[in-house]
Structure 1
Amino acid sequence: MRRILVYGVTGSGKSTLARRLGARLGLPCHAIDDLTWDPGWVQVSAEVQRDRVREICATDNWVIDAAYGMWVDIPLDRADLIVGLDLPRWLSFSRLLRRTVRNVVRHEPTCNGNYETWRTAFLPRRSILVWHFRSFKRKRRRMRQWHAHPDFPETVLIRSPRELERWLRTLPERTPDAGPT
């Protein structure tokens, strides 16, 4: 496991899990939101996103915390493992809502110096909360298809926080200088 794609619905904990996997396995972790959003919430063009993701995935060691449909083919071609966070909607949405409110109230940056506001959190056209509902079924269906199909990299589906912690305990702990296995 040297190239890992963490996938899941919005708010499922992909970024947190990717950081934990990177730290535990001694792999560099790449936050996809930092590659796809420039300051001022300017979305990076699809071509530039593909170039940035292609550059990361060309290396031998990485953990990435998402896969946008416009370039999902790139990490799928190189991933050793997909970890799908297939959590119930109530759990992922409650996490997302809590995180969004915390980020707005505390004025915490989310990516590349961008900040969520009450307006962006709840305005239907830009709301990450609305996006959760629009994308939930599609993302869930996608990760379940990967899990069921032998042509895709090994896919582990995690369905609860407890199951996630059990699975993490099965992984070896490595340091960055431990080298490849």
Structure 2
Amino acid sequence: MSGPRRILVYGVYGAGKSTLAARLAERLGLPWYPVDDLLWQPGWVEVPVARQRSRIEGICQRDRWILDGAYHGWRDVPLARADLVVGLDYPRWFSFWRLLRRTGRRLVTGEEICNGNRESLGSVLSHDSILVWHVFAFARARRRMRAWQRDPYGPPVLLFRSPAELDRWLAGLPRR
């Protein structure tokens, strides 16, 4: 297969990382490993970081993969092996709106997120709310993606500023 075989999709909460990872997996025939499934146990119990890292190392040792995120305790692992980083560098208002819309839908439908976990009104209104996380993580995620793009020693980084830009790029990718 020509083209990237190990892809890290990155962006702030609600940008569309998982949706993009699923689209890339379908288009390129690569296996996608949803990060939320690897990080959260039932009841929103976080997997210990050392175990997260071990799981990610196991995936990243493979020849083909897509991950839809990279977090503090193991971010270096996929970056060291990725052929490509796809960054969703959308405006803050846009990604927050997407997150708000998705969270509302999940509250209404009871949609499972991972390992039996679901959004609840209590979680959305708590200090650990994903909406709060978005507010505080947005600038860091943006700086991180842009720094990766400037790093001559890291993997190539494509930053997309809008869904239209992303769609144009996706349309040009080969199908499996």
TM-score, scaled relative to structure 1: 0.94
1:104 to 73, 92, 107: 107
TM superposition outliers: structure 1 runs of 4+ over 2 Å: none
Question: What's the offset of the Cα at 1:156?
Answer: 0.2
Question: What's the offset of the Cα at 1:140?
Answer: 0.4
8 A Cα contact 2:60 2:78, kept in partner: yes
1:45 to 43, 48, 58: 48
Distance 2:151 2:50 in 1: 28
- Structure 1: segments with no counterpart, 5+ residues: 175-181
Residue 92 (structure 1) aligned with residue 95 (structure 2): yes
* One-letter code aligned to 2:24: L
Question: What's the offset of the Cα at 1:169?
Answer: 1.0
Deviation sequence 1:20-40 (CA, Å, 0-9, x none)? 001100000010000000000
Counterpart residue number, 1:133: 135
Question: What's the offset of the Cα at 1:92?
Answer: 0.3
RMSD: 0.6
Deviation sequence 1:44-70 (CA, Å, 0-9, x none)? 000000000001000000000000011
Counterpart residue number, 1:157: 159
Would you say how many aligned residue pairs link Structure 1 and Structure 2? Answer: 173
Paired residue secondary structure (2:43): coil
TM-score, scaled relative to structure 2: 0.97
- Structure 2: segments with no counterpart, 5+ residues: none
Counterpart residue number, 2:79: 76
* One-letter code aligned to 1:141: R
Paired residue secondary structure (2:140): helix
Paired residue secondary structure (1:40): helix
Aligned-residue sequence identity (percent) comes to 58
Paired residue secondary structure (2:74): coil
